[in-house]
């Protein structure tokens, strides 16, 4: 068990404790994310003037002494599994993988094994980073189970810290580039635009995300690359999406929100299944043979957080999505 000590300046009066800690240089140097700090608060590991504070919205007065009890990294429970990985790039600090559709990133109820984490434990061994008291593969962003494409994982603490900062910034001021390809129903009225709609957990369907006034900021930029069908009767479009934020299911929810859900998305586009009758026979068969949303993380680029090397990778959609694109065309 180690201890981290801070003193609250007077200027921080009335600031929320979790926000103050998330912005504190000492917490950043200790690789403590805001979510990790909140977990430490909930467990009673954050003390203000010697008293544990578990209220996440606790307001500071200024001048308090804060100490954080940091547990030693715990062994990560999932076992390594010899699952083939399509590796785009790897060095001693990070690894970039082309994730196939159907592969879950993290173990979860119903997916205790056979995940990317299990594969990484087997492939990387003890080189995976231990951040904020949890020794685990350095996952800094995720792809949905049925979304394919490029994903980066940290292998060293230095890379984890740098990548986490890049993904928190989402390319606003840093070097991060992330572009997705999506096949959507119909065609957006504007060939390119921005969807700015906050997202939060659905009020009744807990497996879904929805647009909510009280949700977290979510911004998606889109550009129509191609439309399929005669003028005035476009049945589908190939859209490039760039994320300014990285919320769960963001592209899928945002495209459905503007009336153009991702093809094959049973969660957010179920009401569009009848649209398949407007497709040609080849496209109908290709869509029926694709049991997932037609969404692919095609481009990933950033400046390597340790070596400062410029990295940029592109992967074409896998066979199932490529077959649907060809059939639509």
Catalytic site positions:
144
C-alpha distance across the termini of the chain, in Å: 60
Dihedral of alpha carbons 25, 30, 31, 37, sign: negative
Torsion angles phi and psi, residue 14, rounded to 5: 75, 5
d(CA 269, CA 253): 9
User: What are the CA-CA distances from residue 288 to residues 75, 154, 282 (Å)?
Assistant: 43, 36, 10
Pairing outcome for strands 130-131 and 134-135: antiparallel
* 319 Cβ contact partners less than 8 Å away, ≥ 6 residues apart: none
Place of tokens 């076992």: 79
Contact 264, 294 (CB under 8 A): yes
- Which of 208, 197, 237 has its CA nearest to residue 328? 237
Please report the DSSP string for 195-227 in residue order.
EE--EEE-SS-TT-EEE-TTSB--EEEEEEEEE
d(CA 20, CA 68): 13
- The first and second tokens of residue 46, run together, are 């954050």
- Which of 231, 205, 222 has its CA nearest to residue 257? 222
């Amino acid at each position: 068990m180690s201890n981290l000590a801070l003193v609250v300046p007077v200027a921080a009066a009335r600031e929320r404790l979790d926000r103050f800690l998330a912005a504190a240089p000492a917490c950043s140097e200790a690789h403590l994310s805001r979510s990790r700090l909140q977990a430490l608060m909930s467990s009673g590991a954050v003390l203000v003037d010697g008293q544990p504070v578990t209220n996440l919205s606790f307001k500071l007065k200024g001048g308090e002494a804060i100490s954080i009890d940091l547990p030693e990294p715990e062994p990560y429970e999932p076992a390594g599994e010899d699952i083939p990985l399509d590796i785009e790039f790897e060095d001693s600090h990070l690894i970039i993988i082309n994730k196939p559709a159907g592969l879950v990133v993290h173990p979860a109820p119903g997916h205790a094994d056979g995940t990317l984490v299990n594969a990484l434990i087997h492939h990387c061994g003890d080189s995976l980073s231990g951040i904020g008291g949890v020794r685990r593969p350095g996952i800094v962003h995720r792809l949905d189970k049925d979304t394919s494409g490029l994903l980066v994982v940290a292998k060293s603490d230095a890379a984890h810290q740098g990548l986490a900062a890049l993904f928190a910034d989402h390319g606003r001021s840093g070097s991060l580039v992330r572009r997705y390809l999506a096949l959507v129903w119909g065609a957006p009225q504007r060939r390119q635009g921005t969807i700015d709609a906050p997202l939060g957990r659905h009020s009744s369907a807990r497996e879904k995300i929805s647009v909510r006034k009280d949700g977290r900021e979510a911004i998606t930029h889109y550009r129509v690359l191609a439309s399929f069908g005669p003028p005035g009767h476009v049945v589908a479009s190939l859209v490039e999406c760039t994320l300014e934020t990285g919320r769960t299911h963001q592209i899928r929810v945002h495209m459905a929100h503007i009336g153009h859900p991702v093809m094959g998305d049973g969660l957010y586009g179920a009401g569009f299944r009848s649209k398949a009758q407007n497709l040609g026979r080849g496209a109908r068969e290709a869509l029926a043979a694709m049991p997932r949303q037609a969404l692919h993380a095609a481009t990933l680029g950033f400046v390597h957080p340790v070596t400062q090397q410029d990295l940029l990778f592109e992967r074409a959609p896998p066979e199932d999505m490529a077959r649907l694109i060809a059939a639509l065309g």
